[in-house]
Structure 1
């Protein structure tokens, strides 16, 4: 294990450079504007080197701009992006929201999480390109950015290329019902990863370094009895890396519903509703314990024990690997990336009304069972 400061004193044959949105006239209009539907190259770099830090802040009249603006990165002249994600989710901001977030490789800083920072190192041997696409129906009024990078004489062959992939699924419950904590019937067994929510499916040689996990739970029941499962190099289930529950994978315990932010793991956002209703953002970065693969990796997690819950799950997986990489599935259109509506107090009261009718009406408290 090495301290993050272990190599800070090393003198290297590198040149530090920056591409930013500064006003080229010497004025104070230090931003670019992006029309609706426009794709813009923020950086196009030749030669070898590594991106060391990225900072964005954005002003838009579109309330969903963080889901509607897409970030892509390309290394070494490739045609398929190695990074493709809505810009908010990439930096650890779920559902188009703005909130503060602290971790070692990613941060969303004040005011109110609007300063988006990335410290994942991103080496390249023959050029790098970073673009954004405004899939909003309105222009981006102001996009400010820094892209800090180093020029190197050459790149070490042992360095993988940085990748990040966004996925989203509104999961299907088991046909027997949403039976978390055996509240409806004895729980089922699930001796496979079939039906799991997919975090990553990659081919090549490299190592997985973490995930931002955004879950919207439409029930006050705990959503996180799902085991994490990693199948490495085509190995069969259960594989050599099999977990015990959602909060366990995120290094917490006992169904948390509170914010906690460690450099490597935590909960950056919870709804503070009742039970576990609503939106939670958990994160886990494998800085000290990357998950290595020589041929392939399939990372997934159950949505409730035995995949018994309907959840709206979005993730951004982060990893390094050799190129070429397996091309990503087509990114859903912007409207298909928007979050589900929040469950309201009125919705819950309607549930109670339907339950009362199913019980025949009368003086009912709420915990009665059918006879």
Structure 2
């Protein structure tokens, strides 16, 4: 987070995860957040293995009983930190601007509600657990159980020092206090400046044409337009500032056949509506009206940036400035650095009974920002209940999910008080509708090795008419970062024989008909699997040039706290156990993953996996229905 200039570097051994208050039955009751009770504490987050928490959020009525959160690291018996709900933003290490509180509106007597949030990065080498001294539940006044944690898991603990609270975060806090200024270190730059010009309908203009290696450090723009008067009771038929839709930015790196970035002006600068100024540390609009984009954009042979007027009106600009440098070239080795790219722009449209797919990205890389705009049929209509759902690398279980649209940008109670902003997220619009939200993921990037699909519901369960539009920004390359090299189908005798599947302590086979969480929760799948209170073992094929192996298990999450030790060729994987603390007795299918470091797999074309059940909490067995085996790599394997 502190070194914004390193954002383009591709991630190795990193996955993003979500834990929070999602309605287990797929409705809108997203207000119960607890995994299990231990003594007098309610555990709300529990993971094994190295990782880092990047985002902690909890919504609570101030009149409700106040929870105290305890943070345990690396198996400690006593918490390293305790903090009350009202202390976020004031008590170290959870101090502003990296932690604060948002107070929502009164909402006809139901509110106000206090949303506390932390972006303090908290690494741990072995494990982490967060508890509350009261059960977080309910939506009525006096309760309030909404919340989430966004975190990374690491395949190894190499270079990880467990968070103490005494880390020197002054530079990061200083950066977050200077929203609107370039968050990267000052280096010598050159500038391509275009001033006082009019872009006529159907025309385009090249703002930058550069040969050789370098990186864009800033894209700055000033417009000669003002916001027209808005009829507040008029139907919502279009965007209030059409120029933010009709002017498109196109960027092409290294002579690629397809543009790397291509989107409307509003999406490029983080606000498609433009009612008010909003700005993050990455992109937005300053108080003086300057539009800015500070994401580093490396290239190795050429860079071209142009504007296109796709509308019917001529648009006047006061100034465009593109800053670029060669100073960062040593930081960006080709093959381990991603191009700055956008997903295909998702134009304003209403999906019928299914999630709006804002972006679908293929290849390998990591998401760093997303922007979504929504229009309901009339102004002021509540339109915030739809969850964001992100699927990564073909997993049927969402990897990231939010309890409402506004929760993805760390706010609560809808979008009632625009504009709202903090250095990492913001929204603009009119009260409740329309709204345009933007989220920066500078620490909690969303890595993917094959694909990333970003969707959002329309209403509580896709039961509302909403027109969504939006875009994703990411760093990526075309080549995928993992290959499916084997698959074991439990219950299929041929597959079990091929993989030398055997088990001890068997509790037998059983057949389950259930659905996954997310947009496919109305699709029921029947499969046969096995459960054991001892161990299971099987042999799988992998690529000898692997950079590690990822196992994906299809399992039944009827009970939580399923846990197993993992052995590879009789060697215990020391970095973590395979542990899933959450459960869902209603939507029972779960795709969960375990990443084996290359230390155990490099140079081998097959490995023997043994999973040894460990009793934890309510579980009585380890269940398994299918295993997919992926060999990880940085570049495509040659045949």
Distance 1:253 1:141 in 2: 38
Distance 1:56 1:100 in 2: 14
Residues 255/123 of structure 1: CA separation in 2 closer, same or farther (3 Å cut): same
Correspondence for 1:210: 369
Residue 19 in structure 1 maps to residue 189 in structure 2 = no
Conservation of the 8 A alpha-carbon contact between 1:199 and 1:316: yes
Q: Secondary structure at the match of 2:383?
A: coil
Residue 115 in structure 1 maps to residue 294 in structure 2 = no
Deviation digits for residues 262-318 of structure 1, max 9, x if unmatched? Answer: 011122x2313xxx3x31122211111000001111111111122111112121211
Correspondence for 1:48: 213
Correspondence for 1:253: 412
Residues 296/131 of structure 1: CA separation in 2 closer, same or farther (3 Å cut): same
Distance 1:60 1:223 in 2: 29
TM-score by length of 2: 0.42
Correspondence for 1:316: 471
Residues 251/42 of structure 1: CA separation in 2 closer, same or farther (3 Å cut): same
- 1:144 Cα offset (Å): 1.3
Correspondence for 1:2: 2
Give runs of aligned pairs for residues 195-234 of structure 1, distance below 5 A. 195-219=354-378, 220-234=380-394
Residue 142 in structure 1 maps to residue 317 in structure 2 = yes
Correspondence for 1:244: 403
Deviation digits for residues 234-265 of structure 1, max 9, x if unmatched? Answer: 112x2332332212212112324113210111
Aligned partner (choices 274, 280, 293) of residue 435 of structure 2:
280
- 1:85 Cα offset (Å): 0.9
Aligned partner (choices 257, 271, 275) of residue 93 of structure 1:
271
Aligned partner (choices 236, 251, 263) of residue 73 of structure 1:
251
RMSD: 2.8
Q: Secondary structure at the match of 1:55?
A: strand
Residues 108/287 of structure 1: CA separation in 2 closer, same or farther (3 Å cut): same
- 1:142 Cα offset (Å): 3.4
- 1:52 Cα offset (Å): 0.6
Conservation of the 8 A alpha-carbon contact between 2:278 and 2:420: no
Q: How many residues align?
A: 286
Correspondence for 1:271: 430
Conservation of the 8 A alpha-carbon contact between 1:215 and 1:312: yes
Conservation of the 8 A alpha-carbon contact between 1:161 and 1:323: no
Correspondence for 1:38: 203
Which protein has the larger Cα radius of gyration, Structure 1 or Structure 2?
A: 2
Residue 130 in structure 1 maps to residue 311 in structure 2 = no
Conservation of the 8 A alpha-carbon contact between 2:220 and 2:320: yes
Ranges in structure 2 where 5+ consecutive residues have no aligned partner: 5-170, 176-181, 229-240, 481-639
Conservation of the 8 A alpha-carbon contact between 1:200 and 1:299: yes
Conservation of the 8 A alpha-carbon contact between 1:92 and 1:212: yes
Residue 303 in structure 1 maps to residue 458 in structure 2 = yes
Residues 35/266 of structure 1: CA separation in 2 closer, same or farther (3 Å cut): closer
Residue 168 in structure 1 maps to residue 347 in structure 2 = yes
Residues 168/140 of structure 1: CA separation in 2 closer, same or farther (3 Å cut): closer
Ranges in structure 1 where 5+ consecutive residues have no aligned partner: 22-29, 175-194, 326-371
